Structure 1
Amino acid sequence: MEVFKIKNLNNFVDFPKYATEQTPGLDLISTIDSILIPGDIKIIATGIAISLPKKYEAQIRPRSGMAVSYGVTVVNAPGTGDDDYRGDSKVGLINLGDKDFTEQRGMRIAQMVISKYKRISWTESETLDEIERNGKGFRLNGLRQ
């Protein structure tokens, strides 16, 4: 297991942790009490700053229980925490549901998945590799477009 640096910006906060041995996402915790009314977007501080090595990112993802049960999700899902950012790992939440959502200090509000990425460059080409699908439409609800 790799070890990365983390800074506690709020003495209340627990460091993000995995719920189980097989869970890829670390739970992020809210540092405040807040109410999100339907349609509301709020930036929620998690009280931690992290130091990612170069070519790593922190993907911020919704918690499925909050999304399905209450309509509360990460507004820019998945959000990306860059390897050159050292501030509070904030989470943008939006209430897409039809009822107020009370978010409480200490509540798990999102998941953070750490991933390695590659940087690329482009070369312009008149042709692309042939594949079965090529540029033929996409499927939406099982219907061909």
Structure 2
Amino acid sequence: MSETPRPRLDVLIRRIDPELPLPEYAQPGDAGADLRTTVDAELAPGERAVLPTGIAVALPDGYAAFVHPRSGLAARCGVALVNAPGTVDAGYRGEIKVIVVNLDPREGVSFRRGDRIAQLVIQQVEKARFHEVAELPGSARAEGGFGSTGGHAAV
């Protein structure tokens, strides 16, 4: 029995750099569409850079886009995103830029124009109404945090 495909969300996109492809999903079922850099960049160990992607989007109200790292860049090169995930709000109309950092302690990393540098995940988001209270209701976890549930030999 096959599943009915989910409807696609229409997102308006402006191509700032007409020579690069639009974001695309590499495989069926992928959550993130690949973002590419428009510039060459060299990052020494510990160095960071803001890389432009050559696109801007208009998301529908009630949605946000989140810029996530690429696992292959992290595993092979030690590349991470400084503010992962970066948030693109529905009202933002500027170019999407990605803040990358080279966490490898010894090797530099090179990016070339057109390299895939991050993934864009679009999600529906809720607007919260905040209600100030003197006390929060109890829970099983209470105030336990930062490793309070275990899961690592050092905890």
Q: Check the 8 A contact 1:60/1:80 in 2, yes or no.
A: yes
Q: Secondary structure at the match of 2:76?
A: helix
CA shift, 1:141, in A, is 5.3
- Work out whether 1:142 is the aligned partner of 2:155: no
Tell me which residue corresponds to 1:35: 42
| C-alpha distance 13-77 of structure 1, shift in aligned 2 (>3 A) | same
CA shift, 1:71, in A, is 0.8
- Name stretches of at least 5 consecutive residues in structure 1 with no aligned partner: none
Normalising by the residue count of structure 2, what TM-score does the alignment of the two structures yield?
A: 0.86
CA shift, 1:143, in A, is 6.1
Tell me which residue corresponds to 1:14: 21
CA shift, 1:55, in A, is 1.8
- Work out whether 1:125 is the aligned partner of 2:110: no
Q: Residue type of the partner of 1:51?
A: A
| C-alpha distance 140-78 of structure 1, shift in aligned 2 (>3 A) | farther
Higher strand share: 1
1:74 corresponds to which of 78, 81, 89: 81
Tell me which residue corresponds to 1:91: 98
Cα RMSD of the aligned pairs, angstroms, is: 1.7
- Name stretches of at least 5 consecutive residues in structure 2 with no aligned partner: 1-7
| C-alpha distance 140-93 of structure 1, shift in aligned 2 (>3 A) | farther
CA shift, 1:121, in A, is 2.0
The share of aligned pairs that are identical, in percent, is 37
Q: Residue type of the partner of 1:133?
A: R
Q: Check the 8 A contact 1:12/1:31 in 2, yes or no.
A: no
Q: Residue type of the partner of 1:118?
A: E
Q: Residue type of the partner of 1:54?
A: D
Deviations 1:12-43 (A, max 9, x none): 11110111111100100111111111111111
CA shift, 1:51, in A, is 0.6
Task: Give the Cα–Cα distance (whole angstroms) in 2 for the partners of residues 140 and 60 of structure 1.
Answer: 29
Task: Give the Cα–Cα distance (whole angstroms) in 2 for the partners of residues 17 and 11 of structure 1.
Answer: 15
Kindly tell me the number of residue pairs found equivalent between the two proteins: 145
Q: Secondary structure at the match of 1:17?
A: coil
Q: Secondary structure at the match of 1:68?
A: helix
Q: Secondary structure at the match of 1:66?
A: helix
Q: Residue type of the partner of 1:16?
A: P
